[in-house]
Structure 1
Amino acid sequence: QEQDLTHEISKALKLAESGKSDVKLDDAIVVLDRETEEESYRMLCSSLSKGVSMIIDLSWTPWEMAEDLAAETGVPLVRTLLGSEQLVKALDDYLESRNATDAAIILESESDVDRTLYEMLGASNIRVWVHAGLTRDSAKALKTMRPEPSFYVIVGENGFIMDTYRRAVKEKLVRRDFRWNLILTDYSTLELSQLVLPTVILQADPGECCKLMKREDCSCPADFQRKQYILNALIQYIAEVYSKLDRDLPMVTTSINCEEPEATMNSTRDRLFRQFAEDTEISNETLFYWDMDRSGLFLRSRFILSTYKPTAGQQTIATWSADEEYKLLPGVELEPLKMFFRIGTAPAVPWTLMKLDPETGEQMYDDDGQPLYEGYCIDLIARLSETMS
């Protein structure tokens, strides 16, 4: 994956250069390994000693050693996100509004699992079980988990989501309304007719694809390389800001000695960050927005949250941007989620008895192969369920 990213960065740099004759870009890629962080830091220092204009941090969580060095020297450090982190954060906001305490999250790959855990660690109040794909073994683990997860989340592209959802239905995991949440990471449309129970769907506005491709009106291709286009747009924007501020920047490039760091680029950093903030405030339609607290230029994704009921179809319940707070659309009220209780009892006359077939006298079972019971406790549980809705 690092090799893919290296290639994608190279393509983005060449594209930015081709659009501006007065811009010359060069890069030095430092692979961050958290287990050998000191070695990664030495590689960073070696690169900075040869000259630097900006550090772009693409790691899953902020690299504190790089941030500390940037703060000491004044070198502009900008973070961004290339994966599904913003969508996961958006769904986390929705789940917290539903008073969720836990959720089982199913993703496409192990790297997606790591990225999601890094994003949610310390930022979410929800206890999560995270797994790559849904196999027979992981489905069994989910069915026997106690307490049972309050919510289930599938994150990925269309094909992965539908395949995983069908597997979940087959494994009899889809049993309660609005407990399954589907996060679509591409710009396609789900096959809603395959959803067997009321479901929550989250995706980015498909118009974002056209924005990234710099087209007014378009049909997003099935093989759209979202990460590549985000990198293209980000590096082009940064290059444009440097060109625009050419005469305002006291220093564009400097060499850094990590052993004796000096604050040589504070004025340059402050002017660049101020420009990022000004561009963000000018319009809500900019492709990126500046987050000063996180020193980041992030895609201004517009999220669309909807519900689907087989009997009523799809309804949009919320739309908001990545730099805004989650809130429902005016007039929208969510259906209250039914409470779920697991009740333990023991066979004893007349409280709990095995239900027997009146003709054969054999134990009776439900459609899931679970034994049926009757008796006073069973009647009481049924009445409690009815009274409490």
Structure 2
Amino acid sequence: MVQVTDYAESTKRLKNHLLTKMRVACYPVAIVIQEENDILAATFSDTLNNTEAEIGNNILISEQAIYLSRQDEESTFHQVCRELASGVSLILDFSWTGWKLVKLLSQAAGVPYIRAGVSIHPFLRVVDDTLTTLRNATDAVLIFENDIQLEQSLYYLIEFSHLRVLALDGLNATTIKTIANMLPIPSFLVIIADTFHINTIFSQAMEANLIKKDDHWNLVFTDFNYEKFHAGLLTVSITKYVMKKSVCCSLAQLPEACVCPESVKVYSKPVVACK
């Protein structure tokens, strides 16, 4: 059984799996996916169509989307069982944390299981490991750009993190007041967002006089436009987390020395295709 954490890698592994079949056939695929991430079903469906065309339509792929409800996992699990009973060649798990029960089920049934990690978790894990391992942090305020990121983070924080955290969906008058009145003062404050939202949130924090100490703020950029960060705003030293531009080129299926398209975003809408 195979487990991966990268969307592009999962599509490559899928193609390799299918290319081992040298006859014309139909191979259904079960997709396990969070309800909020329904855009991935359409993205992956396009990828499957491209794969069929590239191998001369010798293999026809029939995908089945299964939407995982955290409030009713038992019902979703029974649906997976029904799909397995009807015949499934591969299970792709796009859920935010991975679904261990389905992974065990796939192993018992002898069906390959691939997990594609398309969420905020890799960014969250990097800053979590850095703060706890290198900075000996025990607490932090985490500020996200939207409620989907916030909800994704909760699954990670509950299962993997040892930090005491206050997780927020952006800043507003209420949350600014909450941070300003916190005692003891948070050890670290972290913004996890794209460059546009980091500029907006950081400006709000400055106007509210929340930025006072050196090495207190951590900015985690989820896109490749971090050169557009308003560095002129800085009055203290901060920690920035950015990705190499070569990662962007790989996601966009462009040469390594490409000019990174501004539209490329790692976790929300993968820009990949099988080659």
Q: In 2, are the aligned partners of 1:12 and 1:228 still within 8 Å (CA)?
A: no
- Name the CA distance, whole Å, in 2 between partners of 1:4 and 1:160: 22
1:200 equivalent in alignment to 2:244: no
Q: In 2, are the aligned partners of 1:213 and 1:229 still within 8 Å (CA)?
A: no
| Match of residue 147, structure 1, among 154, 179, 184 | 184
- Name the CA distance, whole Å, in 1 between partners of 2:248 and 2:131: 26
> In 2 relative to 1, CA 180–146 (structure 1 residues): closer, same or farther, beyond 3 Å?
same
**Deviant stretches of 4+, over 6 Å:** none
| CA deviation vs aligned residue, 1:23-45 (integer Å, no higher than 9, x gap) | 43221111001111111112212
| Match of residue 111, structure 1, among 125, 132, 148 | 148
- Name the CA distance, whole Å, in 1 between partners of 2:97 and 2:119: 12
Q: CA deviation at 1:2?
A: 3.6
Q: In 1, are the aligned partners of 2:223 and 2:265 still within 8 Å (CA)?
A: no
| CA deviation vs aligned residue, 1:248-305 (integer Å, no higher than 9, x gap) | xxxxxxxxxxxxxxxxxxxxxxxxxxxxxxxxxxxxxxxxxxxxxxxxxxxxxxxxxx
| Match of residue 49, structure 1, among 69, 85, 93 | 85
Q: CA deviation at 1:49?
A: 2.6
- Residue 179 of structure 1 is matched in structure 2 by 216
Deviates more, 1:123-132 or 1:166-175: 123-132
- Residue 222 of structure 1 is matched in structure 2 by 262
Larger helix fraction of residues: 2
- Residue 77 of structure 1 is matched in structure 2 by 113
| Match of residue 97, structure 2, among 61, 83, 86 | 61
| 1:219-298 correspondence runs (5 A) | 219-227=259-267, 230=270, 232-233=272-273, 236=274
Instruction: Give the secondary structure class of the aligned counterpart of 1:24.
Output: strand
Give the number of equivalent residue pairs. 235
Bigger Rg, structure 1 or 2: 1
User: What TM-score, normalized by structure 1, do the two folds share?
Assistant: 0.57
Unaligned runs of at least 5 residues, structure 1: 238-389
Instruction: Give the secondary structure class of the aligned counterpart of 2:66.
Output: coil
> In 2 relative to 1, CA 199–103 (structure 1 residues): closer, same or farther, beyond 3 Å?
same
| Root-mean-square deviation (Å) | 1.9
> In 2 relative to 1, CA 192–17 (structure 1 residues): closer, same or farther, beyond 3 Å?
farther
Q: In 1, are the aligned partners of 2:251 and 2:270 still within 8 Å (CA)?
A: yes
> In 2 relative to 1, CA 59–31 (structure 1 residues): closer, same or farther, beyond 3 Å?
same
| CA deviation vs aligned residue, 1:179-221 (integer Å, no higher than 9, x gap) | 1000000011223222221010001112111112222132222
1:165 equivalent in alignment to 2:178: no
- Residue 16 of structure 1 is matched in structure 2 by 51
Letter in 1 for 2:272: N
- Name the CA distance, whole Å, in 1 between partners of 2:75 and 2:271: 26
- Residue 6 of structure 1 is matched in structure 2 by 41
Q: In 2, are the aligned partners of 1:9 and 1:231 still within 8 Å (CA)?
A: no
Letter in 2 for 1:64: K
Instruction: Give the secondary structure class of the aligned counterpart of 1:29.
Output: strand
Unaligned runs of at least 5 residues, structure 2: 1-35
1:91 equivalent in alignment to 2:127: yes
